[in-house]
Amino acid sequence: MRFGVVVFPGSNCDHDTLYALRDVTNQESFFLWHKEHDLKDADCIVLPGGFSYGDYLRSGAIARFSPLMQQVKEFALSGGLVLGICNGFQVLLELGLLPGAMLRNKNLKFLCQYVPIRIENTETPFTNRGKPGQVLHIPIAHFDGNYYTDPENLKKIHQNQQVVFRYANPDGSLSSAANVNGSMDSIAGLLNEQKNVMGMMPHPERASDLLLGSTDGQIIFESIIHYLKNDR
């Protein structure tokens, strides 16, 4: 499968994401420069983590105006798979491809740590290789990951099973302590209505190598590949 990793000038997880896709998962993967207009026939577009344009305004606020993002938007609206990781999630919110917004973490500090997340929905292109309720150990690293949306939207999101991951305890239970950044309903990963666009705050590319502590992130990449091969 062909994975296009979008590079904004301040992306800094672009190399890690490419490495996880190309060298660990063995997929044909390449960078897409933000100033270009061509998605190079990618089957899946990945918006990696980082600080797209420095993020001195709101995280991801400027990235949505870059030339390539128009292509990404059209690609998503026509059903193409788009995965936004961390800053990529923030960009997807700014683009309007996903509902809601991000606030500062509840402790007002940057947080870098492993977190357990629970899979809420396995019938998605991004989680079909996981088991319902399975707990994955994947690192987070962000300042603005405190998900927020209005109550009406929240209801819709739940009704339509758009919540993919929630911050949980290692045993899968939910708690305020486990919800490290204070996200509404502990939301860690979210789909659009059509379920072809997903944003997640944890970094699956950082959980792709046993030497570094976890390979749980591979479930997400493998799910995408499985979906593209079988269900598309």
Partner 1 sequence: MIDKHTLEEHGITQEEYQEIKNLIQREPNLTELGIFSLMWSEHCSYKSSKVHLKKFPTSGKNVIQGPGENAGVIDIGDGLAAVFKIESHNHPSFIEPYQGAATGVGGILRDIFTMGARPIATLDSLRFGPLSHPKNKSVMEGVVSGIAGYGNSIGVPTVGGETYFDPCYSLNPLVNVFCLGLAKKENIFYARAEGKGNPVLYVGSKTGRDGIHGATMASSEFGEDLEEKRPNVQVGDPFKEKLLLEACLEVMEKKLVLGIQDMGAAGLTCSTTEMAANSGTGIEIDLDLIPQREKGMTPYEIMLSESQERMLIVAKKEKIKQVQKVFERWDLDAVIIGKVTDTQNLKVFAKGQAVVDLPVSAVVHLCPAYQRETKPHSPTQTAVCSSDVPLPEEYESIFLQMVRSPGLANKKWIFRQYDHMIQTNTAVLPGADAAVIRIKDTQKALAISLDGNSLYTYVDPRTGGKIAVAEACRNLSCLGAQPLGVTNCLNFGNPEKPEIMWQFKEAVEGIAQACRAFQIPVTGGNVSFYNETEGASVDPTPVLGVVGLINNVDTLISPEFKEAGDCIVLLGETKEELGASEYLKQIHSKKCGPVPEIDLEIEKRVQKLCREAISQGILQSAHDLSEGGLAHCLAECCVLRKTPIGCQIQLDQQIRTDALLFGETCSRILVSLKNKDKDALFALAKKASVPFAIIGKTGGKNIFVRHFGETIWDIPVQKVYSLWNNSIPDTFHVK
Residue 109 binds partner 1 (CB under 8 A) = yes
135 vs 117: CA distance, rounded Å = 5
Among 26, 58, 67, 110, binds partner 1 (CB under 8 A): 110
Query: How is residue 211 written in tokens?
Result: 């030497």
Residue closer to partner 1 (CB basis): 78 or 177: 177
Are 29 and 2 contacting, i.e. CB atoms less than 8 angstroms apart?
Answer: yes
Going through 54-162 in order, the beta strands assigned E by DSSP cover 81-85, 101-103, 111-119, 135-142, 146-148
187 vs 100: CA distance, rounded Å = 11
Given the residues 34, 44, 86, 94, select the one marked as catalytic.
86
Q: Residue 58 to residues 53, 64, 103: CA-CA distances in angstroms?
A: 10, 11, 10
Sole window of 104-112, 157-165, 190-198, 221-229 interacting with partner 1 (rule: CB under 8 A): 104-112
Are 63 and 53 contacting, i.e. CB atoms less than 8 angstroms apart?
Answer: yes
Residue 64 binds partner 1 (CB under 8 A) = no
Residue closer to partner 1 (CB basis): 50 or 130: 50
Query: How is residue 186 written in tokens?
Result: 């502990």
Burial class (CB within 10 angstroms; exposed 0-12, middle 13-18, buried 19+) of 133: exposed
Residue 230 binds partner 1 (CB under 8 A) = no
Contacts of 155 (CB under 8 A, 6+ apart): none
Going through 93-229 in order, the beta strands assigned E by DSSP cover 101-103, 111-119, 135-142, 146-148, 163-167, 187-191, 197-200
Among 2, 15, 156, 226, binds partner 1 (CB under 8 A): 15
Residue 126 binds partner 1 (CB under 8 A) = no
Active site residue 203: yes
Q: How far is the CB of 169 from partner 1 (least distance, A)?
A: 12
Residue 213 binds partner 1 (CB under 8 A) = yes
Q: How far is the CB of 34 from partner 1 (least distance, A)?
A: 11
Among 206, 216, 220, 223, binds partner 1 (CB under 8 A): 206
Residue 216 binds partner 1 (CB under 8 A) = no
Among 139, 145, 182, 202, binds partner 1 (CB under 8 A): 139
Residue ranges in contact with partner 1 by CB under 8 A: 9-10, 12-13, 15-16, 19-20, 23, 35, 49-51, 53-56, 107, 109-113, 139, 141, 143, 177, 203, 205-206, 208-209, 211-213
Q: Which residues are catalytic?
A: 86, 203, 205
